[in-house]
Chain A
Amino acid sequence: MDTPQTEVQTVYIRPASLSGTPTHYCPGCTHGIAHRLVAEVLDEMNVREQTIGVAPVGCSVFAYNYFNCDFVEAAHGRAPAMATGIKRVMPNHIVFTYQGDGDLASIGMSEIMHVAGRGENITVIFINNTIYGMTGGQMAPTTLPGQRTTSSPNGRDVETMGYPLHMAELLAQQPGAGYVVRRSLHDPKNIRQAKKAIRVAFEAQKRGLGFSLVELLSTCPTNWGVTPREALGWLEEHMIPVYPLQDFKVIPTLAELKF
């Protein structure tokens, strides 16, 4: 009797740049998607073995466990400074930071502004979920007006707590920035666009075209107090109007790249 022949085709596989370690992220959190997109780009560019990542303090503090490349772990907000130190002595390596909104836009404001100002040839993946996740849902510099958090229990009152910071817009103003865009991870179409942007950001670094940053609007169902599905809807409905998905700085050489 003939054995039936089955044709096997790989349609989905873990990128080599991911380690395979199960993440500690909450169900529905978009960190996993962001990690995968970065890993796919490192694979496609074949730069995994020339890459050094810099993990932040926050939910993604253990990012180094999930990537299959060399990594260091920075102090809170200092990832861009640490990345600078690495890139200056390893200029031919790919150096990226992966930072949340508290890390990048609050305690690390000085460091992120100055890497952009210097046109430091590094790539920053900026996760904006409008909240401090690791510490349990406190107000972030990106928390929306009126948004309830554990440290703004009646909603962010702009009279006393100020307004959210628009980091991509701010950083794009710096002449040293080569590529600064905002994307979102709330549906497949936007995820594909986010991946393209991450690719361009790493290509910018590879070509020595200055500071590159992709801000990724992300969800935190746990600390927003909603289901994962509701979180995706909340992002689309409330975050995108405040944080428009745009290209804020794309130098002409990069505009011609197609992925």
Chain B
Amino acid sequence: MTKELLEGNFAMAEAAVRAGCEAYFGYPITPQTEILEWMSHRMPELKRTFLQAESEVAAINMVYGAACTGTRVMSSSSSPGVSLMMEGLSYIAGTEVPVVLIDVVRGGPGLGNIAPAQSDYNQLNHGGGHGDYHQIVLAPASVQEAIDMTVLAFELAEKYRNIVVVMADGSVGQMMEPAELPEMRPVTRIQGDWPVTGNVGRPPRVLTSIYIDPPAEEVYNHKILNKWYDIQANEIRYKEYYLDDADFVVVGFGTAGRIALTSVRAARAEGIKVGLLRPITTSPFPFSQLDELSKRAQGMLVVEMNTGQMLDDVRLAAKGRLPVEFYGRPGGMMPFPDDILGEIRRLAHTPLTTEGDPRKRWMDRVRTGELMLR
């Protein structure tokens, strides 16, 4: 395979096709509709299943049904649509069937707008649907990563019988850049002891999320939590840049992390010993890596395209050992590298505190005009 100029949404769709996705159910919503459109011709061309559902509610329940048969299946949507899918995702988590979802996050809350944002972090990483469950969440920062993580998503979903979400944002979905698609893999169905396929020569199987007896539901909750610890132990992924000698650590995922890398390089050119940690799995979150960094760095800066959702996880990892500052652009706005560079300079050259609320400090600086928005 060679690199081609690919748009993120088409690239993720084709990556899913080549990863052996056999069924796609979705509903149009900007800025991810190109995934649905690509699937609408590509899947029938390969004699696979494509269906435009009547709603995201229906789409995720179609995915649920197909997943129960051991079929490699996915959906894609964007923030308001993903909110509608929360019911189905909870049932899927309660049934332990493998499902892949791509969320091309846009500005919110409510109808919001169609610009890139990272405001679904909490919804995807800290629940969303009812009940106790965890999703694996992958955060691509480029078209190539979007491709690779889509393929990885199917592998992880089936390995753990778990929901895996590729949490892209509008810019990853819409931008074009050179990237390489994977080889076409054969379509296979899961042959485990759980898919419902008709009970030929075996007792009937039932796939359900109901455990009407509370002690049984408690045991199920223990089971999926222990599975989650297994996932935490084996699947945490992140990228490190210039962290070996870093006094200061910038933390950002997806597009915000990618922009922050430019700022980190500029700061390095000025002689500031700063590095970047970019979580690839925001769930499971690289707590222990940040824990270690917080023992040797002098300050951290969290950069997000929201009002500080991952910030809470970073602060949890840092345990108050060092100042953690925040810079965010919510609502569909994106930070400029110079803006983050300014924050890195502030981190390196002004007295910082571990007291107070970094989100509030940031908001106050925006409110008073100290932080210029452009």
- The yes or no answer to B152 lying at the interface (CB within 8 A) is no
In Å, the complex CA distance between A250 and B63 comes to 31
Total A-B Cβ pairs within 8 A: 132
In Å, the complex CA distance between A71 and B71 comes to 16
Contact present for A89 and B57 (CB under 8 Å)? no
In Å, the complex CA distance between A89 and B22 comes to 8
- CB-defined interface of A24-54 with B at 8 Å, one 1/0 digit per residue? 0000000000000000000000001111101
Partner of A110, one of B51, B55, B207: B55
B55 to chain A, nearest CB (A): 6
- Which stretch, B196-204, B270-278, B300-308, touches the partner chain A? B196-204
Contact present for B204 and A81 (CB under 8 Å)? no
B319 to chain A, nearest CB (A): 40
A159 to chain B, nearest CB (A): 31
Partner of B66, one of A65, A69, A85, A93: A85
Known: A78-B88, A81-B62, A82-B64. A88 touches B198 (CB 8 A): no
- The yes or no answer to B25 lying at the interface (CB within 8 A) is yes
- CB-defined interface of B51-92 with A at 8 Å, one 1/0 digit per residue? 101110111011111111101010000000000000110010
A247 to chain B, nearest CB (A): 27
- The yes or no answer to B288 lying at the interface (CB within 8 A) is no
In the complex, what residue of chain A is closest to B189 when comparing beta carbons? A89
Contact present for A81 and B53 (CB under 8 Å)? yes
- The yes or no answer to A114 lying at the interface (CB within 8 A) is yes
Contact present for A72 and B61 (CB under 8 Å)? no
Known: A71-B204, A84-B51. A78 touches B58 (CB 8 A): yes
In Å, the complex CA distance between A189 and B23 comes to 44
- CB-defined interface of A47-75 with B at 8 Å, one 1/0 digit per residue? 01111101100000110110111111111
- The yes or no answer to B46 lying at the interface (CB within 8 A) is no
- The yes or no answer to A90 lying at the interface (CB within 8 A) is yes
Contact present for B88 and A72 (CB under 8 Å)? no
Known: A49-B200, A70-B198, A89-B69. A75 touches B91 (CB 8 A): yes
- The yes or no answer to A83 lying at the interface (CB within 8 A) is yes
Contact present for B61 and A82 (CB under 8 Å)? yes
In the complex, what residue of chain B is closest to A94 when comparing beta carbons? B198
Number of residues from A at the complex interface, CB < 8 A: 36
- The yes or no answer to B210 lying at the interface (CB within 8 A) is yes
Known: A78-B57, A84-B51. A52 touches B210 (CB 8 A): no
By a CB distance below 8 angstroms, the chain A residues around B69 are 52, 86, 89-90
Partner of A85, one of B57, B63, B91, B205: B63
- The yes or no answer to B123 lying at the interface (CB within 8 A) is no
Contact present for A82 and B54 (CB under 8 Å)? no
B330 to chain A, nearest CB (A): 32
Contact present for B62 and A88 (CB under 8 Å)? yes
- The yes or no answer to B113 lying at the interface (CB within 8 A) is no
Which residues between 199 and 244 of chain B lie within 8 Å of chain A, taking CB atoms?
199-201, 204-210, 212
Sample of 9 further A-B pairs with CB below 8 A, known A70-B197, A86-B66 = A49-B201, A52-B197, A62-B210, A67-B204, A72-B68, A72-B196, A74-B64, A75-B87, A81-B53
Minimum-distance CB pairs A-B, first 3: A85-B65, A73-B208, A85-B62
27 intermolecular pairs with C-beta atoms under 8 Å apart: A49-B198, A50-B198, A62-B212, A69-B198, A71-B206, A72-B64, A72-B95, A72-B207, A73-B206, A73-B208, A73-B209, A81-B57, A81-B61, A82-B64, A85-B25, A85-B73, A86-B66, A86-B69, A88-B51, A88-B62, A89-B69, A89-B73, A90-B197, A110-B58, A111-B58, A111-B61, A114-B58
Query: CB within 8 Å of B: which residues of A?
Result: 19, 48-52, 54-55, 61-62, 64-65, 67-75, 78, 81-86, 88-90, 93, 110-111, 113-114
